Amino acid sequence: MAKTRTKNGAKGESKTKTKRRRVSFSLQTIGAKEVVLVGDFNNWNSTSHPMKNDQNDIWSKTVMLPVGTYEYKFLVDGIWRLDPQNNQTCPNCFGTYNNIFNLIES
């Protein structure tokens, strides 16, 4: 599930610049060799956000995103998987579902 942490902007940052927030994703999956975070925030690119395994079969990745609504999935050893920690989904054009989350300004 996506977890957010706010981070203060750099000193002198323009107030008109879109603020980005840290969003952490995690997935527990036993025996996976590769897990990638894929979503509309990275144009569904299956190579841009590989996740790291903590050696306890928990894979994680933190990304910086602006406020908005996002769709995502995990690609586990080449197989698409929904986030079991997030029950918010929407249908996609392939006849399956994507997870969805709203990143709101705090």
Residue 23 pLDDT more than 70?
yes
Q: For residue 77, is it within any domain?
A: yes
Beta strands (DSSP E) in 11-67 are 20-28, 35-39, 52-53, 58-66
Q: Rounded to two decimals, what is the model's pTM?
A: 0.81
**Length reported for the chain:** 106
Mind listing the pLDDT tens digit for each residue in 49-105? Answer: 999 999 899 999 999 999 999 999 999 999 999 999 999 999 999 999 999 999 988
Is position 28 within any domain?
Answer: yes
User: Is position 12 within any domain?
Assistant: no
The token duo for 65 is: 């995103």
Q: What CA–CA distances, in Å, run from 11 to 28, 54, 58, 102?
A: 37, 33, 35, 27
CA-CA-CA-CA dihedral for 58, 103, 62, 45, to nearest 10: 90
Residue type, 3: K
The answer to whether residue 9 sits within a structural domain is no
Task: Examine residue 14 and state whether it is found in any structural domain, yes or no.
Answer: no
Number of domains comprising the chain: 1
Show the domain range for 87: 20-103
Give the domain CATH number at 87: 2.60.40.10
